[in-house]
Amino acid sequence: MSRFDLNAEEVYEILQKKGIKKLYHANTVATSRLYLEKEYLLSRQYVEDNKLYQTSQYTDDKDKLLGIYDDIFLDMVDIHDYLRKPNFYGPFLFVFSSEILRSNLFSTVRITKKNPASWSLSENEDNWYYSEIKDFEIDYMSGNKVLDVGKMIIIKKTNSKLSLIPHCVEFILDNPNIVVVDHEGKESYIVDVVKKYFYEVFPVNKYDHIIKSIRHKNVLLKCSCWRKYNYKFKTDINDFRRLFHKTP
């Protein structure tokens, strides 16, 4: 076992002290549909090796070099809500109970000191991960929100997948507040179109107990996401499609 593998239950206790009772994974609509269909979060390596579909992420090539392409990532905050802006890893959010840290699915986790997107190949693991859980406790939520979101949980020992049941408690889909017109001239909000994408792949009776929410369904309060999504829709339609379309 590496010295960077922290006891998952001890991490759970620290998060409880800080009022964190949920963990999060954001992804694109297309990749999230795959996870829902398979009933697992899957590592990007697993999806690639099994010739399944997923949208590209700008960190893919680097993650392979860093040796984290086969890992599962969980955030300790809802980045969209925490920073009041879209999470451009994707508009679909899987919300897990933090009790998953006390389950028998894994016994250790790693916690990053900063977002792996900012890791350098010239650095070593001491620059990337906490080796002492007390250091994490001191650093986390100490007043810098940007640094907080760079600290995430990495799970390495789950055979490249993490079951959604029973610990996933909510699905949240962003509403970008954009209207599109189909080939018949019918207008629809994108969020209503995307909702149908997900119900196409929901396994029968599997997710009935899970809360299904639309973020900013009817009103926007103190968040920049509608403006940022609309700007992306107008200036970078290919990337907007990467986020919201049901195929990669």
**60, exposed or middle or buried, with CB in 10 Å at 0-12, 13-18, 19+?**
middle
Q: Phi then psi for 64, rounded to 5 degrees?
A: -65, -45
Judged by DSSP in three states, 43 sits in: coil
Residue range 101-118, pLDDT digits in tens: 999 999 999 999 999 999
Residue 194 is predicted with a pLDDT of 94
Query: 191: closest CA among 233, 158, 248, 153?
Result: 233
Query: Which structural domain range is residue 156 located in?
Result: 1-248
Number of Cβ within 10 Å of residue 176's Cβ equals 23
Distance between CA atoms of 67 and 1, rounded to whole angstroms?
16
The counts of H helices and E strands in the chain are 11, 12
Cα separations in angstroms, 143 against 13, 23, 138, 139:
20, 20, 11, 9
- The predicted model gives 193-217 an average pLDDT of 91
Phi, psi of 154 (to 5 degrees): -115, 130
Structure confidence by residue, pLDDT tens digits, 31-80: 999 999 999 999 999 999 999 999 999 999 999 999 999 999 999 999 99
Please count the other Cβ atoms lying within 10 Å of the Cβ belonging to residue 76. Answer: 23
Global confidence as pTM: 0.96
Contact 149, 89 (CB under 8 A): no
Distance of CA 164 to the CA centre of its chain: 13
Contacts of 222 (CB under 8 A, 6+ apart): 84
Percent of the chain with pLDDT over 70: 100
Contacts of 47 (CB under 8 A, 6+ apart): 31, 34, 53, 54
Q: How many domains is the chain partitioned into structurally?
A: 1
Residue 204: pLDDT band (50, 70, 90) is confident
Tell me if 58 sits within 8 A of 243, measured CB to CB. no
Task: Give the CB-side neighbour count of residue 120, counting CA atoms within 13 A.
Answer: 3
- Residue 211's DSSP bridge partners are 170
- The residues with which 212 forms a beta bridge, in sequence order, are 171
Residue 191's pLDDT band, with cuts at 50, 70 and 90, is: very high
